[in-house]
């Protein structure tokens, strides 16, 4: 049986901010929860996700972090099969494994894992919340796969299903709107995130969207709007000076055109090449 200390430590890890320092502390705490209870399924799954954040933000060696994330996610899935544990068939094990899988550039397998995880959601008290969060997360994979229209619908349906959704639903929906060339809607969606909750990353979506809007007519660009986009990008780079177009392009994509579309907006907004 999982100790109360392991559960408390795991909850504390989840509350850490989405920053380099916050993620380091989260990983330390998830590891402490695992050390406290070596069979604590959720701690393995959450630690795998923390390592994916390292990959996404270039906070550590991509290949090493992804390999370790895969190992931990596999361990979580293995533990979820123990019928003698309270987390038997817990949907979160396969959900977090799906996140790792699409980062490994195997989108079809990831979508199968998302669907399998969704089928395991059973607690009626949290049915709407858990289903909505899983669907919204799957939408991010669809964006990188190259199906932003389906991603948009998935998040819109998730928001209706769970009106008390977290701020990051807006983040994913905004990125999907951008990829669908619905730039103003992307901007509007970002503006719905409370300022105290906006991570630096959302400035990329905001800057790229404004830059694309400003250059819809190449012959007559909106210079004021383009300058605004470049100012937002400067604000982003002041916090993340090492982030580049090359690092943005290194994400797994199922569509070369979707990758180009994203990089094109970042380039127009002034993100440095490498």
- For range 240-255, the mean pLDDT: 94
pLDDT for position 204: 98
**228 within domain boundaries:** no
User: Quick one: pLDDT at residue 202?
Assistant: 95
Tokens of 43: 């701690």
Listed range (23-37, 58-72, 144-158, 212-226) with the worst mean pLDDT: 58-72
Q: Is the pLDDT of residue 2 over 70?
A: no
109-146 residue pLDDT tens: 999 999 999 999 999 999 999 999 999 999 999 999 99
Is-contact 100 73, C-beta < 8 A? Answer: yes
Parent domain of 23: 1-104
Per-residue pLDDT tens over the stretch 183-235: 999 999 999 999 888 889 999 999 999 999 999 998 999 999 999 999 999 99
Q: Is the pLDDT of residue 93 over 70?
A: yes
Q: Which two tokens stand for residue 37?
A: 């209870």
- Whole-number pLDDT of residue 205: 98
Examine residue 129 and state whether it is found in any structural domain, yes or no. Answer: no
In a domain, 170, yes or no: no
- Identify whether 272 is part of a domain: no
Residue 9 lies in a domain: yes
Q: How far apart are CA 112 and CA 127, in angstroms?
A: 20
* pLDDT of 18 over the 90 cut: no
Tell me whether residue 114 is in a domain: no
| Tally of domains within the chain | 1
In a domain, 256, yes or no: no
Q: Is 66 among the domain residues?
A: yes
Cβ burial 30-48 (10 Å sphere, 16+ → b, else e): bebbbebbeebbbbbbbbb
Alpha-carbon gap, residue 156 to 163, rounded angstroms? 10
| Structure confidence at residue 256 as a pLDDT band (50, 70, 90) | very high
Q: Domain with 53 in it: what CATH number?
A: 1.25.40.10
Q: Could you tell me what percent of the chain has a pLDDT over 90?
A: 85
Other C-beta atoms closer than 10 Å to the C-beta of 163 total: 8
Per-residue H/E/C for 117-147: HHHCCCCCCCHHHHHHHHHHHHHHHHHHHCC
């Amino acid at each position: 049986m999982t100790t109360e200390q392991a559960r408390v430590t795991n909850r504390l890890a989840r509350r850490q901010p989405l920053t380099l320092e916050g993620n380091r502390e989260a990983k330390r705490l998830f590891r402490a929860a695992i050390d406290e209870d070596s069979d604590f399924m959720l701690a393995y799954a959450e630690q795998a996700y923390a390592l994916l954040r390292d990959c996404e933000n270039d906070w550590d060696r991509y290949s090493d972090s992804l390999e370790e994330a895969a190992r931990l996610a596999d361990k979580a899935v293995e533990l979820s099969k123990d019928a003698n544990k309270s987390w038997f068939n817990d949907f979160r094990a396969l959900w977090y494994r799906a996140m790792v899988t699409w980062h490994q550039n195997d989108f079809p397998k990831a979508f199968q894992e998302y669907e399998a995880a969704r089928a395991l959601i059973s607690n009626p008290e949290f049915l709407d919340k858990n289903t909505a969060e899983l669907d919204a997360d799957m939408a991010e994979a669809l964006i990188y796969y190259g199906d932003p229209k389906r991603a948009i619908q998935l998040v819109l349906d998730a928001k209706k299903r769970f009106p008390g959704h977290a701020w990051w639903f807006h983040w994913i929906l905004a990125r999907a709107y951008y990829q669908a060339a619905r730039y103003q809607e992307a901007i509007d969606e970002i503006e719905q995130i409370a300022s105290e909750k906006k991570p630096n990353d959302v400035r990329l979506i905001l800057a790229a969207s404004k830059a694309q809007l400003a250059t819809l007519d190449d012959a007559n660009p909106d210079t004021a709007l383009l300058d605004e986009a470049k100012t937002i990008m400067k604000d982003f780079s002041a916090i993340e000076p090492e982030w580049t177009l090359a690092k943005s392009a290194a994400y797994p994509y199922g569509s070369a055109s979707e990758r180009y579309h994203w990089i094109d907006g970042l380039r127009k907004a002034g993100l440095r090449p490498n």
